[in-house]
Amino acid sequence: MKKIGILNYDISSVIASMGHGDLIVIADAGLSIPSSTKRIDLALEKNLPTFLDTVRVILKELQVEEALIASEMREKNPEVREKLLALLGDVPIREIPHEEFKKMTQNAKAVVRTGEFTPYANVILKGGVVF
């Protein structure tokens, strides 16, 4: 049994397979996920697990070069946005329109669906390198 790090096999496998520039999406319960993109569904019930808890755990294992969020998050979900920015720390953040965000999910290695029930609680993490 694995004793540290991400215990979820699918998430751990995707992170281990990521290279520089690869994308992973952490999403709220309502984000549409293209059928061609791997779906890792963690949603158990409303807000379980939360978006922010899921991001926090993934950031412990994934080197992130850049994060992308929907520009609508600034107005529609400022509290979660502020907490997300704090979690991301020095990671550069790019804001894009939600429609463009949804199109980019097609290029992700996976979308991790959480139980988050707040609008625009989604982030695309672009893999970086540790050297």
Annotated binding residues, written as ranges, equal: 28, 98, 120-122
Dist CA 19 CA 12 (whole Å): 14
Residue ranges of the binding site for substrate: 28, 98, 120-122
Provide the strand spans (E) within the chain: 23-27, 38-41, 64-70, 93-96, 110-113, 123-127
Mapping DSSP to helix (H, G, I), strand (E, B) and coil, where does residue 86 land? helix
Catalytic residue among 17, 20, 44, 103: 20
Instruction: Let me know if 20 is a catalytic residue.
Output: yes
Q: Which residues are catalytic?
A: 20
